[in-house]
Amino acid sequence: MTAADRVYAIIKQRILDGQYPANSYIREATIGQELELSRTPIREALRRLVSDGWVEVIPHHGARVVSWTQRDVEEVFELRVLLEPQVVRRAASRIDPSRLDSLGELACHMEQLCERGDDLAIDEIAGLNNRFHAELITAADSPRLQRLLEAIVQVPVSRRSFHHYSGEELHSSMRHHREIIRALAAGDGEWAASVMRAHILAARAAQLHPPAR
Amino acid sequence: MTAADRVYAIIKQRILDGQYPANSYIREATIGQELELSRTPIREALRRLVSDGWVEVIPHHGARVVSWTQRDVEEVFELRVLLEPQVVRRAASRIDPSRLDSLGELACHMEQLCERGDDLAIDEIAGLNNRFHAELITAADSPRLQRLLEAIVQVPVSRRSFHHYSGEELHSSMRHHREIIRALAAGDGEWAASVMRAHILAARAAQLHPPAR
DNA sequence: ACGAGAAGAGTTGTATACCATTTTAGGTTA
DNA sequence: TAACCTAAAATGGTATACAACTCTTCTCGT
């Protein structure tokens, strides 16, 4: 792994952490001094972040962390509704039993955390949920589909999404996981895709129209 | 236009020409000497080509021209079947009359060329067809959808695709264009999406199973 | 003869430097 | 007060030198 790769990962992580807030500028010299690197690998990392849509460049002024509007969130959900069902549609005919098992374990773990229901548990669920989706993408065995999803499913959107869920919505999400596993085990891609579609649309509804609590 | 821009264009052209064959390595120093530039702008051009999917970088080993397998082509069509209908689904409720007019002109122009039927005309049709799809994407007004499509619809796939068409397939493609325009004029996104889906699936069939001629 | 390991060539990765361009802030002047 | 000018600071583009890595090949020991 080269220095530019590391810088890319570090900056991305800091954007996710909120350490680099939206609309803030990332100074090449500043981060270069901090990591004890020259501007060269920093610049390369920033270019990649630009082409991946994490930051935007204002000419002669710098690299600014992009800010997300409501419209951006809607655009992402619109695309996820198309692509994530395709993931499981493919996975249904390709997944092997061992991966089904690990999906089951993830679902089980998430359900247990769901019973606790506190904020920390919800954070953990978010992490496990990401792993769940990542396993599915691997099972789908389509590098391009994976790349597209990674390009649009910015974690800023999904990271704290479960905090928008009501208890009912959270349980519903868990049931979706189980049903997707059953559909995959049955090798039924359309069934799995339908559940996934509902899963994403439910997430969208929770995100866009947070229930009063 | 910077030197890096020129290098980008030159390398891309050479890949299309076959001057840089698939799986061959593009040496930074070699092309640098040839164009009398340092490695810096060449590197930047290569990085851009990587993010556009034309070449891939093996760390410490070099930039290799990507090779397309049958599977890659299938993957791309699978994604286009999902995304391109979404383009027109959105466009149906957003397109304005002037753009409908220019789509009509493009369709008209393509139909005239279609009557000629020689190889040169078919090349021209390919260019106009790209413009047709580009207009639709603009009308869809979704930067992310646009980015995803640009990321997967590599010209190596679409460039010579019309040469695979039989006369019947070519005329069918022209009728699809007209029907998409009618559906958009009617503001019916699902109609337009269905035709587009057929349009892409027809292209896929022509590409994957060339008819005996 | 054969495998392990080292040396070397070739290539990419990074540091540093230079100048141009542009923006911003601050100060000056009418 | 307002317009203008200037200098500082940052990026943008490129060149060059050196460091680090990979792969190949050749040697050496068994």
pLDDT by residue (tens digit) across A174-188? Answer: 999 999 999 999 999
Local structure of residue B209 (DSSP, 8 states): S
CA torsion B139-B142-B147-B150 (nearest 10°) is: -20
Highest mean pLDDT among A10-24, A75-89, A143-157: A75-89
**A51 interaction partners in chain B (CB closer than 8 Å):** 48, 51
Q: Are residues A166 and A106 in the same domain?
A: yes
- The answer as to whether A177 is a domain residue is yes
Domain that holds residue A34: 3-65
Looking at B65, B80, B97, the residue that finishes a domain is B65
The H or E element containing residue A89 is helix A70-91
What is the three-class DSSP state of A58?
strand
Residue A186, number of CB atoms within 10 A of its CB = 11
Residue B154 has a pLDDT of: 73
| Beta-carbon separation of B76 and A144 below 8 A | yes
Looking at B65, B91, B112, the residue that finishes a domain is B65
For the four alpha carbons of B68, B69, B72 and B73, in that order, the dihedral sign comes to positive
Q: How far is the C-alpha of A167 from the C-alpha of A156, rounded, in Å?
A: 22
Residue A157 has a pLDDT of: 52
Distance from CA of B105 to the nearest CA of A (A): 30
Residue B60 has pLDDT above 60, yes or no: yes
Phi-psi region of B117 (alpha: psi -120 to 50; beta: other; left: phi over 0): left
- Per the structure, the count of domains in chain A is 2
Burial class (CB in 10 A: 0-12, 13-18, 19+), B164: middle
CATH code where residue B173 lies = 1.20.120.530
Residue B111 has a pLDDT of: 95
- Select from B47, B148, B152 the Cβ nearest to the Cβ of A44: B47
Average pLDDT of the residues in B130-157: 89
Distance from CA of A120 to the nearest CA of B (A): 32
Strands A55-58 and B55-58: unpaired
Q: How far is the C-alpha of B80 from the C-alpha of B188, rounded, in Å?
A: 20
Residue A115 has a pLDDT of: 87
Cβ contacts of residue B79 below 8 Å, gap of 6+? A86, A144, A145, A148, B148, B152
What is the three-class DSSP state of A26?
strand
**Average pLDDT taken over every residue of chain A:** 91
